[in-house]
Chains A and B, each alone.
Chain A
Amino acid sequence: MTGFPRTISEKILSAKSGENARAGDVMVCDVDLVLGTDASAPMAIGYFERMGGTRVHDASRVVFALDHYSPPSSPSTKGFHDQVRAFAATHGVRVYEVGEGISHQIAVERGLARPGMLIVGADSHTVTCGAVNAFATGVGSSDLAAAMLTGQLWFRVPETIRVILDGVRPARVAAKDVALAMVATLGSDGAEYHALEFTGPGAHSFSLDDRLVLSNLAVEAGAKAAVWDADNVLELHLATFGERGEPVVADPGARYAREVVLDLPSLQPAVALPHSPQNVVPIALAPDTPIHMVFLGTCTGGRVADYHEALAMLERGGGMIAPGVQLVVTPASSDVERQLASDGTLVKFARMGATITVPGCGACCGTSGVIPGDGMNVLSTANRNFKARMGNATASIYLASPAACAAAALTGRITDPRSIP
């Protein structure tokens, strides 16, 4: 493509539309990967049929994951699963079954999501896949149906906010703490209609898992996409699939709407208080709060490194869960679960009395797994803490890093992880 210097999003949407696109243009684009879940595919199937769909445009680019109702706990959810399986069988769409994991986790760990791709998912946290240098965005069921039918979707090319990760992240500050600082800085709509691009001298110290966390939480600030620069961390990830991919780098001189600097050395372990991900305070300043349930899981905090962090914290603090605290472990995928089983992590959690559940979304939005009791305070590695989200309107949800969640499991209260030596 010739002409003006472009952001990563402008480059990807140009490539997928076959035209020179800049922010503000509306383009019809070919979609590389289409993700549906058991929460969104049933409605999409209805739309697909009403649109007159008889065959999926390219079934090899479509994937469903049965993750929200994993396992199904009612006739209705079982019905959704059967409906999705039947459609997939008819049209040749791959289904990741109950227990295989969350769509975004599968897309990244199995190499479905790759640099330079345009990825659409009928789930708002599809933005997570931006960590692998792809333009990944969430849509509803009708757009999912349209993408299955035509292989395309229309997009307004977003302006981009450059998020500059500056300096060295302190040792006990987790990616989740950085992400919470990001959503607090941007506000609930500070990135509305915008793409984020993560860059800066501190970016290279973020592992791929760390990058997933930041991309994941970007949607809580309204972001359309949250794309990481291509660098050697990405290259190492791709090498595990024997691929180099087609990484996309922004052109020097590309136009950005604005820049937001995250000064990493100034960050501290943080917690989002009820009932908004923006309601972030340093844990050291959080009100003394009893915690009744600790949830380790989700597309934000359900990966191997997260459980290793949490377990290390628990062991450092004596290895016993405080009385009255229920610790819930829900791996983000069967691959994660398998690794934790083979390296001894899972049995250690089990011996402490943790509740270990089937991989998937779990308790995050009240659709599967443990529902908090009345008046309970939950500390969670998830990305949203809206009232009633976990299935009980009288429970209060707090969000924090895996280490901070584990610290609270030790003490039964919100606890600065740095206070556990």
Chain B
Amino acid sequence: MGGDINTDYIIASTRKKETLDENVLKRYLLEAVDPSFAASVRSGDIIVAGTNFGCGSAMEVAATVILAAGIPVVLAQSFARSFYRNAINNGLLAIECDTAGIREGDALVLSIDPSGTTISNERTGRRETRPALGGIAGDILAAGGLVPYLRREGRFIPATAVGD
């Protein structure tokens, strides 16, 4: 999808007024953009977007409903900062990369290791490697999200190298 996909489009405030259960909310994922989208999602599908994905409200269900729908990764040209934080905190992989050449239906292979993620497009043969998230944010993501991180650490541990 294109740029500026805001969190109201990802999940409407009127829906989360009725329930916070992501397994119910996932039926309404992106309904303002395409009412048939949610039903078409298969586990392992990836959302690919343009710039400023997740802009607008900082509502966390925008990240958790994507995960609940079985989508483990969002690739975007760029993310809104509040969505990006929420993604990290819930273990949703939000990867900034050049999405311009990716088309709906493309088979993407993501190879993830501690140093970074390589995204390969089987249709175009194009490949891009993005470095792993460092610092505290990287630690939180590596732990699986903010809940496991804080259960383990009890507080935020600053990274030893400032500027990560």
Contact = CB atoms under 8 A, between A and B. Distances in A.
Interface of A: 19, 24-28, 39-40, 42-43, 46-47, 50-52, 68-69, 74, 76-77, 122-124, 138-143, 145-146, 149-150, 152-154, 188-189, 192-193, 220, 222, 224, 276, 365-367, 384, 386-389, 391, 393
Contacts of A143: 85-86, 89, 146
Interface centre among B13, B63, B90 (most CB of A within 10 A): B13
Given A47-B147, A189-B52, A386-B8, 5 more contacts: A24-B163, A189-B51, A222-B52, A367-B14, A384-B56
Given A25-B162, A28-B136, A154-B136, A51 B56 contact: no
Given A52-B150, A188-B52, A189-B52, A140 B63 contact: yes
Given A39-B16, A47-B147, A192 B81 contact: yes
B17 to A, nearest CB: 5
B156 A152 contact: yes
Interface in B87-112: 89-90
Is chain A's interface secondary structure helix, strand, loop, or mixed overall?
A: loop
Interface of B: 3-4, 6, 8-9, 12-14, 16-20, 32, 51-52, 55-61, 63, 78, 80-82, 85-86, 89-90, 135-137, 145-147, 150-151, 154-159, 162-164
Contact of B58 (A27, A122, A386, A389): A122
Contacts, number: 150
Contact of B89 (A26, A123, A140): A140
A6 B21 CA distance: 44
| A-B complex: 3 closest residue pairs judged by Cβ atoms | A140-B60, A365-B13, A189-B52
Given A24-B163, A188-B52, A139 B13 contact: no
Given A26-B163, A140-B59, A188-B55, A51 B146 contact: yes
A365 B82 contact: no
B20 A43 contact: yes
Nearest to B134: A26
Nearest to B140: A154
B164 to A, nearest CB: 6
B85 A276 contact: no
Contacts of B19: 76
B85 A367 contact: no
Contacts of B60: 40, 43, 140-142
A123 B146 CA distance: 18
Contacts of B4: 188-189, 276
Contacts of A365: 8, 13-14, 57
A282 B87 CA distance: 37
B45 to A, nearest CB: 23
Nearest to B164: A26
A140 B86 contact: yes
Contacts of B6: 384, 386
Contacts of B164: 26
B80 to A, nearest CB: 6
A28 B158 contact: yes
B13 A366 contact: yes
A157 B24 CA distance: 37
Contacts of B135: 26
Contacts of B18: 74, 76
Contact of B156 (A28, A39, A124, A391): A28
